[in-house]
A and B are shown apart, each in its own frame.
Chain A
Amino acid sequence: MNRIKQLFREKKNILSIYYTAGYPNTGDTIQIAEALQKSGADILEIGFPYSDPVADGPVIQASSKQSLDQGMTLKLLFEQLKELRKNVTIPVLLMGYVNPVLQFGVEKFCEACAEVGVDGCIVPDLPMVEYEEFYKDCFEKHNLANVFLITPQTAEERIRKIDGLTNGFIYLLSSSATTGKNLEVGNTTEAYFSRIKGMDLKNPTMIGFGISDKQTFDKACSYANGAIIGTAFVKAISEGNLEENISNFMKKFKD
């Protein structure tokens, strides 16, 4: 059984952390992964940077730019990730935009993911129809989960289709917004989360975008299997001692 499925079977209130590979320094990728696991993260989402990240806000864009300027590439990332499974046992996903994957080669990308022990991918600008037609077989051959995003505007029929296509989890955007906005659970958001919860989907759900502290995390967990933190974490490790920053940041989400 794959690591993602097993985790959701065994655990509630799952905390997934996003970080940009090669940020703050090119060589930090594995160190961050290990430190996050040690301080209690349940899933890692490692972002491979892209020059034009339209779905992201200024914080993640800036981290992507810095990482690229310092020389990060997808090829280098896969080199670094050869060390991933020495100590990291929790599920790991790669997150990034479709163009670097296309240039790397879809087949080669899937093979490389499988080789280094990556469990799945999140590619926000890869549309469902294209995934189904050109990518799905390759992903499944290498046991890679493809995680789709849904928003408050996503129609029920489309959510059902996504639920049928994926085998990891479904990424619930708390609002139709680029990354880095705060979670404000008003009546409409609550209705949306409740609606999704009531759909009884086969895949677990994770709430992403806008989670920055224990309070928002707990709120998210009351509607979904867990939550994803990205911008707040990237901000927290921008300067200073990496290990200390990570440990301090993660303490905020523990009881």
Chain B
Amino acid sequence: MKYKVNEKGYYGDFGGAYIPEMLYPNVEELRQNYLKIIADPDFQKEFHQLLKDYVGRPSPLYLAKRYSERYGVNIFLKREDLNHTGAHKINNTIGQILLAEKLGKKRIIAETGAGQHGVATATVCALRNLECVIYMGEVDIERQAPNVARMKMLGAKVVPASSGSKTLKDATNEAMRDWINNPVDTHYIIGSVVGPHPYPDMVAIFQSIISEETKKQLLAQTGNDQPDYVLACVGGGSNAMGMFYHFMDDENVKLIAVEAAGKGVSSGFSAATTYLGNEGVLHGSRSILMQTPDGQVVEPHSVSAGLDYPGIGPQHAHLFKTGRGQYVSITDEESLEAGLLCTKLEGIIPAIESAHALAYLEKMQFKGGENVVVCLSGRGDKDLDTYIKYFNL
């Protein structure tokens, strides 16, 4: 349990709830209730039923043969891309909408970058007939038009965030403002393992289904529930935390988190938070973030909207600082090439986010024969425009 949250809401030096007083009652209500609600057998039953019948879980753990041949190891892809709505995000939104209902909330808000979390939120709101407002950066609205249309079809109101870089960070600010102005009836479904305690822990718990299944599937397929390596991409870090969760205490399993280097870590257009950032407070928790010496948040860049975030969740900051996790980065170009490679080798078009994790396989030194799990966090349909432009398809 040494990497889990403590009773004060911290992971080592990171975490906490740095929020204005206006948000205190909402966050406190959640803090006091989330573990109790999640542990309730009725909640568990409904949550797992929906994951099975609605999301389509368990998602397959697929031994990718041609990938494996290429690297001389066993590459397993955890197929979160096959979930309903096309990514791991729905694991969390199913959990949080059920929790919001138990808290008696009538209105749901969320932020979104690539639109995956927005779609996953709008989907569960349609499913449970709750009002839904999604904040999305103006830039992201433009580059993720199909997801905007999906959200609208699902009945959500999509509100553009027009401040700052007009991307995920700004959408998060706007969602927090909405919550401040609607403190009683509204639940804020944060999409990643960021935000004030208890969000990072709560989202990690809902996403931990990824590693819970992986362990069982590995045991069945290899006779050993511990792989040598686990890889996942990190923006805020929710798919990575879900993928790492049940392996964190297995110290011989190497955890590799892949950040977005953008146009290169030194280019000024990057989102490689652990490389470029230092400790500070962003969106309600103490973590590592990209900032100026004056403590102003730096605008990140990544070709992948889902990784275009200037911070990482506090639990990731803890894994990084303690050395439990290895944090590396992959450029825009490397990720797009890896996306094409995956498509050609395995017939799977990955989201550009997930392609960052795949791209790092090219850089690893293997002895041969290791078991390697990569979280294929989402499918690439939403990224076709970017692939088309880059490869002149």
Interface mask (B268-289 → A, CB under 8 Å = 1, otherwise 0): 0000000000011111100000
Interface mask (A154-180 → B, CB under 8 Å = 1, otherwise 0): 110010000000000000010011100
Given contacts A54-B176, A55-B180, A178-B181, contact A74 B295 (CB under 8 A): yes
B293 partner residues in chain A, CB cutoff 8 A: 103
Judge if A124 is at the interface, Cβ distance under 8 Å: yes
Q: Which residues of A contact B (CB under 8 A)?
A: 50-52, 54-55, 57, 61, 65, 68, 73-75, 97-104, 124-127, 129-130, 148-151, 153-155, 158, 173, 176-178, 181
Interface range on chain B: under 10, 10 to 19, 20 to 34, or 35 or more?
A: 20 to 34
**Are B291 and A99 in contact, CB atoms less than 8 angstroms apart?**
yes
**Are B280 and A102 in contact, CB atoms less than 8 angstroms apart?**
yes
B281 partner residues in chain A, CB cutoff 8 A: 97-99, 102, 125
CB-nearest residue of chain A relative to B9? A129
B283 partner residues in chain A, CB cutoff 8 A: 52, 54
CB-nearest residue of chain A relative to B170? A52
**Are A176 and B180 in contact, CB atoms less than 8 angstroms apart?**
yes
A154 partner residues in chain B, CB cutoff 8 A: 21, 24-25
Q: Complex: how many Å from CA A178 to CA B25?
A: 15
Of B16, B20, B164, B184, the residue contacting A51 (CB under 8 A) is B164
Most buried by B among A50, A102, A154: A102
**Are B21 and A54 in contact, CB atoms less than 8 angstroms apart?**
no
**Are B163 and A73 in contact, CB atoms less than 8 angstroms apart?**
no
Of B177, B184, B294, B295, the residue contacting A178 (CB under 8 A) is B177
Q: Complex: how many Å from CA A129 to CA B282?
A: 18
B181 partner residues in chain A, CB cutoff 8 A: 176-178, 181
Closest 5 CB pairs of A and B: A103-B295, A100-B295, A73-B294, A149-B21, A55-B20
**Are B25 and A54 in contact, CB atoms less than 8 angstroms apart?**
no
Given contacts A65-B163, A103-B291, A127-B17, contact A51 B22 (CB under 8 A): no
Q: Complex: how many Å from CA A73 to CA B293?
A: 9
Judge if B297 is at the interface, Cβ distance under 8 Å: yes
Q: Tell me which residues from 161 to 194 in chain B have a Cβ below 8 Å from any Cβ of chain A.
A: 163-164, 169, 173, 176-177, 180-181, 183-184
**Are A55 and B22 in contact, CB atoms less than 8 angstroms apart?**
yes
**Are B295 and A50 in contact, CB atoms less than 8 angstroms apart?**
yes
Given contacts A51-B297, A73-B294, A99-B281, contact A130 B18 (CB under 8 A): yes
**Are B183 and A176 in contact, CB atoms less than 8 angstroms apart?**
yes
**Are A103 and B294 in contact, CB atoms less than 8 angstroms apart?**
yes
**Are A127 and B294 in contact, CB atoms less than 8 angstroms apart?**
no
**Are A52 and B22 in contact, CB atoms less than 8 angstroms apart?**
no
B28 to A: closest C-beta gap in Å? 9
CB-nearest residue of chain B relative to A53? B173
B20 partner residues in chain A, CB cutoff 8 A: 54-55, 124-125, 149
**Are A103 and B280 in contact, CB atoms less than 8 angstroms apart?**
yes
Given contacts A148-B21, A154-B24, contact A51 B296 (CB under 8 A): yes
**Are B22 and A173 in contact, CB atoms less than 8 angstroms apart?**
yes
Judge if B19 is at the interface, Cβ distance under 8 Å: yes
Most buried by B among A57, A68, A124, A176: A176
Given contacts A99-B281, A127-B18, A154-B25, contact A178 B164 (CB under 8 A): no
**Are A100 and B294 in contact, CB atoms less than 8 angstroms apart?**
yes
Q: Complex: how many Å from CA A155 to CA B32?
A: 15
Q: Tell me which residues from 11 to 35 in chain B have a Cβ below 8 Å from any Cβ of chain A.
A: 16-22, 24-25
16 inter-chain pairs at a CB distance below 8 angstroms, sorted by A residue, are: A50-B296, A51-B164, A51-B296, A51-B297, A52-B283, A54-B173, A73-B294, A99-B295, A102-B295, A103-B294, A125-B19, A125-B281, A151-B21, A151-B183, A153-B183, A173-B21
B236 to A: closest C-beta gap in Å? 15
**Are A99 and B19 in contact, CB atoms less than 8 angstroms apart?**
no
CB-nearest residue of chain B relative to A55? B20
CB-nearest residue of chain A relative to B183? A176
B295 partner residues in chain A, CB cutoff 8 A: 50, 74, 99-104
**Are A52 and B294 in contact, CB atoms less than 8 angstroms apart?**
no
13 additional A-B pairs beyond A52-B282, A61-B163, beta carbons within 8 Å, are A50-B296, A51-B296, A55-B22, A126-B18, A150-B21, A151-B21, A153-B22, A153-B184, A154-B25, A173-B21, A176-B181, A177-B22, A178-B22
Q: Complex: how many Å from CA A183 to CA B212?
A: 51
Most buried by B among A51, A57, A75, A99: A51
